[in-house]
């Protein structure tokens, strides 16, 4: 195997920005059992345009399912929040973005900090599997389950680690995160853009329905993706995501920095059931 053929390993991505867009930051969050590799082409496209970009690697991700089982939603959120705060401190305006679970984390960040806007790809706030209602008990009787698989995936394959099993303890943490993010939607004041795949077998349509109901006019754009599955940032519709999200960031970036930043320190979180 030659050096050029070695698949990249999961790692955080950051770019300081260049040119006139360097004053605008975009913090992007990957999804559950994923890694920055799933949103790397998006991040690289934004970096090529001069935006300052940060994509942290969340705890328990990019390794294996055993590590994931030992992490919790507060670890995931706290890592992304720290990345956002660092990026926000060195830019004039900072957006948040996310894929799947990363969408819930981005929304929670927007509820707690003065972000300039939010761009989401197949954001998760709900589940298809009704067994998640009793996941807090089920996790003590069943340690893991098989991950959700698309029948004919068209997205590029990434090496995110060994997630051949999904720990139910981590699914319980995901449920807590979704609940906390949903309850915070009324606090989101920034404009929100959503890309939604029509053939998404991972995140049900109820997630978008909740966003429509609870965000109202703050949900300024919903883009239907007709040719991609769940990880649309690596799929056929990726160029449309890149182009339309860039236009969204440019359209909603204020010309001057806010006079004061109300979020100087991370927001403390409390565990929910």
pLDDT, tens only, 216-261: 999 999 999 999 999 999 999 999 999 999 999 999 997 544 333 3
Position 258 in a domain: no
Residue 194 in tokens: 């959503």
Which range marks the domain in which residue 97 is found?
Answer: 11-252
How many domains does the chain fold into? 1
Q: Indicate the pTM of the whole model.
A: 0.91
Q: What is the CATH number of the domain that holds 127?
A: 3.40.50.1820
Q: What is the pLDDT of residues 165-198, one digit of tens each?
A: 999 999 999 999 999 999 999 999 999 999 999 9
Across 40-55, b (16+ Cβ under 10 Å) vs e yields bbbbebbbebbbbbbb
Is 100 considered catalytic here? yes
Position 5 in a domain: no
Task: Specify the pairing of strand 118-121 against strand 166-167.
Answer: unpaired
Position 89 in a domain: yes
Active-site option among 200, 235, 246, 252: 200
Position 269 in a domain: no
Do 77 and 30 touch, CB atoms closer than 8 A? Answer: no
**Annotated binding residues for substrate:** 32, 101
Active-site option among 61, 113, 172, 230: 230
């Amino acid at each position: 195997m030659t050096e050029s053929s070695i698949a990249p390993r999961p790692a955080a991505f950051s770019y300081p920005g260049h040119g006139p867009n360097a004053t605008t930051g975009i913090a992007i969050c990957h999804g559950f059992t994923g890694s920055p590799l799933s949103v790397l082409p998006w991040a690289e496209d934004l970096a090529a345009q001069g935006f300052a970009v940060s994509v942290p690697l969340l705890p328990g991700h990019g390794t294996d399912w055993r590590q994931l089982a030992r992490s919790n939603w507060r670890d995931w959120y706290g890592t992304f929040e720290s990345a956002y705060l660092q990026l926000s401190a060195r830019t004039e305006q900072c957006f948040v973005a996310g894929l799947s679970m990363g969408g819930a984390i981005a929304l929670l960040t927007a509820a707690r900090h003065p972000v300039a806007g939010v761009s989401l790809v197949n954001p998760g706030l709900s589940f298809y599997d009704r067994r998640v209602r009793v996941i807090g008990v089920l996790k003590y009787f069943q340690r893991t389950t098989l991950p959700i698989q698309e029948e004919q995936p068209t997205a590029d394959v990434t090496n995110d680690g060994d997630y051949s099993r999904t720990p139910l303890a981590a699914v319980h943490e995901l449920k807590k995160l979704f609940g906390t993010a949903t309850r915070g939607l009324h606090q989101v004041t920034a404009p929100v853009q959503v890309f939604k795949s029509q053939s998404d077998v991972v995140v049900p349509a109820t997630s978008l329905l909740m966003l429509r109901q609870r965000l109202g006019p703050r949900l300024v754009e919903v883009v239907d993706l007709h040719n991609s599955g769940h990880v649309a940032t690596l799929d056929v519709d990726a160029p449309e995501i890149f182009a339309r999200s860039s236009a969204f960031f440019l359209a909603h970036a204020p010309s001057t920095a806010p006079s004061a930043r109300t979020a100087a320190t991370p927001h403390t979180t409390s565990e929910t059931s």
